[in-house]
Each structure stands twice: as structure tokens, then as C-alpha cells.
Amino acid sequence: MLTTPKLKTLQELIAGSTKEELIWLSGYLAGVVAQTNGQPALPVLAAATAQEPDVPAKPAVSKITIAYGTETGNSKKLATDFATRAKKRGINAKVVGLEQYRLTDLSKEEYFFTVISTQGDGEPPAAAKKFYDHLYKGGLQLGQLKYSVLALGDTSYPLFCKAGEDVDQQLQLMGGQRIVSLQKCDTDFETEAGSWFDQVLQKLISNPAAAPSAPAVVTRKTTGKKIYAGTILSNINLNDIGSGKQTYHLEIAAEAEYQPGDSIGITPENPAEIVEAILSLTGVDPARTLIFREEQLSVDHLLRKKLNIVFLPERVVKKYAAIVGQDIPGTKIGLLDLLKIYPVKDITQFQEVIGILEPIAPRLYSISSSPEAHGGEIHITVAKDTFVVNGETKHGLCSDALSQLSPDQTLDFYVHKNSQFKLPEQDRDVIMIGPGTGIAPFRSFLAERDATGASGRNWLFFGDQHFTTDFLYQTEIQNWLETGVLTKINTAFSRDQQEKVYVQHKMQKQATELYGWLEAGAYVYICGAKEPMSVDVENVLLGIIRQEGKKNAAQAESYLDELRTSGRYVKDVY
């Protein structure tokens, strides 16, 4: 029990804290309790930032597995750093990508650490999907397992570090013993990841069997992203008259640091007419301030710049239904329509609705310029997203806004690094498969290789609907072919003949030569639509390896796995 003065201090602290702060506090206290183990309580961070000892003590644990699930390489880098630190302390650490991890090994593991990011709308990275699904299959008995999870994410997304949370929870449900609490990290993850490594290593060195850690979570609420204010230099539609598509090439003046293969992230604003309609429908004072994720902002600012209102996920619609006390069928709907069809009863109820809304998620666009060739500029290639709802043609929020930008307007963005999708050494060959906007990073690759005089061969597979209207960057590509920067190109214009022809069909036709390039050490890159394109391309690639390499299915899989592990087979698909 607490003495009266201590209790009073605690009550004051609680009264002055937001819900988020209280969640943080409860996690923090659980972490402190888990670490004390009979000792006087030390702040979590004091233990976490302890320096490495000069002479490593003999660790109580000698062997661990560190498995990472990554999309853009951050988790892999951290897993490798963690292993290096463990090895310095005399612990034999095996690092493995979750895509390579043998699922049957899990029930044999004793000390198992996962570093995993979250992708999509709260999903695991594609490479970790099999592992993730395996945890949900049920029937696993992991009573022998001691584990901890480091989760990477971005607080700008609605479901912060969801995949890491899920893995942490499932491992515990299957009997695993959590030895250090889940650590959720924002995009500036170095400090928190370093603290987590230290906490885990301290446990492994001293007493891993000590009291299990609570599922405490220490989160940071600010993203450490560097936001650049770019100025639009030009914005042109790359498709010709008569095309069924609109793909915009934007040139942006900005002194941002990036490498070919990186993307930029943009958080779009909501259309003014929707915001105004919501304000007038509800009668709420636009200047009224509310707290959203620890920031005090006006309703007007929240609706314009912070909250996703255009197209709500089903989980938000469910919460809305609970607030207004109505049955709302699972439907694709925006806030304005919800308010029209299922009105709130007053402003207080509307404020409650604001509380359940999620932040506008950033959208990524592959950079299509090269730092060497286009100094001081960033180019992107944006397909205007068009879809039909109830017979009405609509456009995607961000791509529509980008398509309308004019020279001299400004655009805020951040650079999203991708340490996996990178050009190899100058003398290595590359095979680039990028239909549609998938061409974007390959324009960057080719411009970079041109500007740096790289000697490796370059082979491009490009495709779209029609040759005459949809051959994006045709003139530049033809120039690169003429000057020899581009060694070879194969195009597939799907709708120029009766039967559909896609890039994978062109790859199949080039099977012998393509396999020859692979055998000569070429790197393979795929960019563009995740489904069905990247799946079909991968299947054809496997077929080519089987056919040309005279391998069976398992041998072809392991050939591709080897390419993947050595960084010679990379995808950036969406």
C-alpha cells in the first residue's frame, strides 16, 4: 500500500494524464516491477542505457535465435546489430529472416527474439506472413520458449506496430515466457531499440528465468521524420490522349537526401468541400479545440489535416455504430455519408465520433529521379487512382491531389528509405521488372547508372495497356537503349492484341537468356502491383529456373531463396 502523500501524488499524476499517458505509465510501471526482482526499483531507462561492460561476464544463456520480418530493411539491420551486441557478450546469436525460418523449429527454440515491422493496414511484412499465420493456426505448444519482441512501426499509421503486438501476444498465448516487454518503436527507432537490446542482454547474462515481463509497452508519440517542403517544378500526364489511364510525372525542387530505390511519403489533406459539409451538417464550431493523440488542435485543423474521414475502415464504422446506437452494415463509407445517414444527436456525440477517428495514413511514391542525374530535385510517377462506387467515378485521395498540383505550389514529404531495394556494385548486372508505375525506381536506377558510368548490364521489362498511349518515359528509355545504358528491353502492351500479354509472358519467352543472366550473377528487381503482377512474375521466374536449370520445384524454390537471402531478388510492390 502507498502512504497517504505518495497516494496523493499518484492521484494527481493520474488526474492530469491523458488516456495515452496512462497506458504508457501502466506499461512503464509493469516494466519497473518486472525488472526489480527484489532489488530496489530502478527506472527502466536507467537499466536500459547501461554501458556495455569492459569485461563481459559469462552469460547465463549461450545461444539465441534472432528472427526478423522486414519490408524495407530496418528490422534486418536491427536484428544484425542486436546479434553483434550479443556476440560481444559471449552469446551465440543466429540471425534469420522470417521468410527463411523453418516453422517446425519454433517448438525447439529456447531463446527466441523477433524484430518485426508492420506494413499495409496493420499487417506483417510479406516476408513474415507465413510465420505470422503459423502463430494463429493454433495447436502450438511453446512452454519451453523464452521470447521478446521488438516491433517497428510508424505512429502516423492507424494501427501502430500491430504485427509486433500480435506476435508478442500469440507467443505468450502458446505458452511462451516473455522475458522483456514488447518494445514498440516509431520511425526514429535507434534509441529505443538500443535500450531493448540492453534489457534483453542483461536478462540473458544474469537471470533469464527471473519473473516474466508484463506486456508493457513503451511508446513514443512523435515521429522523428524529417519533413521537407518541396516546390513543384512541373507536373505532366505521361499518358497520351485516348489512354484509359492518367499517370503524372512530378518534378519537385527539394534538397532531400535519398538513394535510388527510396520512396517519398506524403500525407494528403482532406478535400475542403467535405470538411465544410461536415462542419455545416454538425454545426460544430470549427475553432473549438480538442485533444487528438496528445495534440490540442482545432476541429477544423483535425478535419482538414489529421483525421481520416474520406473512407473509413470497418473497425471505425463499428465504433461509430456503437456511439449513435444504430445497426450499420459493413460498408465502404466516408464520415460525411455516415453523418447524413446515421446522424449524431448533438455536438457532444460528434466530439465522441472525432475521438474514434484515425489519422490519415501517409502514401508512398517510389522516387523516379536519381541524385546523380537530377541534383536538387525529386521526381515521382503517380497513377491517378480511379474507381467506381455505386456507379459514381471516384479518385484516390492522395493521387488525385498530386495530379492537380501546379508549378510553384509546395508539397510536404519525407523520405522513406529502403535499404533492400538498392542498386548493386557498378559492375553487376540488373534485371528490372516494372510494369505501370513500377517503372519509377527503374528510371532512377537507369539515370543513376548512366550518370555514374556503371559498367553492369541493365535489362528492363516494362508493360502497360497500349504502346501508343501508355509507354511511360518512352523517349528517355529509347535514348538509354541507343546509348547502351539499357542493354535490353522487353515490353508487353496487354491490350494491343486480342490475347492479354503481360511482362511475365515476355520473361518466359526470354527464359534461356534470363537464366543465363541469373547464372552470371544478375540482381532481379520487381516493382509495381503486388497482385496479381508480382505473384505471376515470381511464378514464371520459378518456372524459368526449373526449366533452364533442370531443377525440380523444391530446387527452384531454394535457388530463388538463395537469391533472396543474398539480396539478389528484391521486390517493392504495393
Question: Which residues sit at the interface with ligand FAD, rule CB under 6 A?
Answer: 263, 268, 310-311, 332, 334, 363-366, 381-383, 385, 387, 389, 394, 396-400, 437, 440, 572, 574
Enumerate residues 6+ apart whose C-beta is below 8 A from 38.
Answer: none
Does the protein bind ligand FMN through residue 183 (CB under 6 A)?
Answer: no
Does the protein bind ligand FMN through residue 159 (CB under 6 A)?
Answer: yes
Enumerate residues 6+ apart whose C-beta is below 8 A from 474.
Answer: none
For ligand FMN, the binding residue among 99, 109, 154, 262 (CB under 6 A) is 154
The grid cell for 474 is 518512352
For ligand FMN, the binding residue among 35, 65, 74, 235 (CB under 6 A) is 74
* Beta carbon of residue 95, minimum distance to ligand FMN (angstroms, whole number): 14
Measured distance between the N- and C-terminal CA atoms of the chain, rounded to whole angstroms: 53
d(CA 395, CA 387): 6
d(CA 408, CA 410): 6
Does the protein bind ligand FMN through residue 369 (CB under 6 A)?
Answer: no
E strand or H helix that includes residue 394? strand 392-395
Does the protein bind ligand FMN through residue 219 (CB under 6 A)?
Answer: no
229 or 389: CB nearest ligand FAD: 389
526 or 556: CB nearest ligand FMN: 526
On whether the CB atoms of residues 64 and 112 are closer than 8 A, the answer is yes
Does the protein bind ligand FMN through residue 153 (CB under 6 A)?
Answer: yes
366 binds, among ligand FMN, ligand FAD, none (CB under 5 to 8 A by kind): ligand FAD
Does the protein bind ligand FMN through residue 122 (CB under 6 A)?
Answer: yes
* Beta carbon of residue 365, minimum distance to ligand FAD (angstroms, whole number): 4
For ligand FMN, the binding residue among 121, 337, 427, 519 (CB under 6 A) is 121
436 binds, among ligand FMN, ligand FAD, none (CB under 5 to 8 A by kind): none
On whether the CB atoms of residues 487 and 522 are closer than 8 A, the answer is no
277 or 310: CB nearest ligand FAD: 310
Taking CA 416 as the corner, what is the angle to CA 187 and CA 215, rounded to the nearest 5 degrees?
25
Does the protein bind ligand FMN through residue 270 (CB under 6 A)?
Answer: no
For ligand FMN, the binding residue among 35, 70, 170, 534 (CB under 6 A) is 70
What residues between 544 and 563 interact with ligand FMN by CB under 6 A?
A: none
125 binds, among ligand FAD, ligand FMN, none (CB under 5 to 8 A by kind): ligand FMN
How would DSSP label each residue in 137-185? SS----TT-EEEEEEE--TTSSSTTHHHHHHHHHHHHTT-EESS--EEE
What are the C-alpha distances in Å from 139 to residues 107, 133, 239, 378? 11, 12, 53, 50
Name the residue number minimizing CB distance to ligand FAD. 396
Chain centroid, CA 453 distance in Å: 32
The backbone torsions φ and ψ at residue 410, rounded to the nearest 5 degrees and listed phi first, read: -100, 160
Give the interface with ligand FMN as residue ranges (CB under 6 A): 70-75, 117-122, 125, 152-154, 157, 159-162, 187, 364
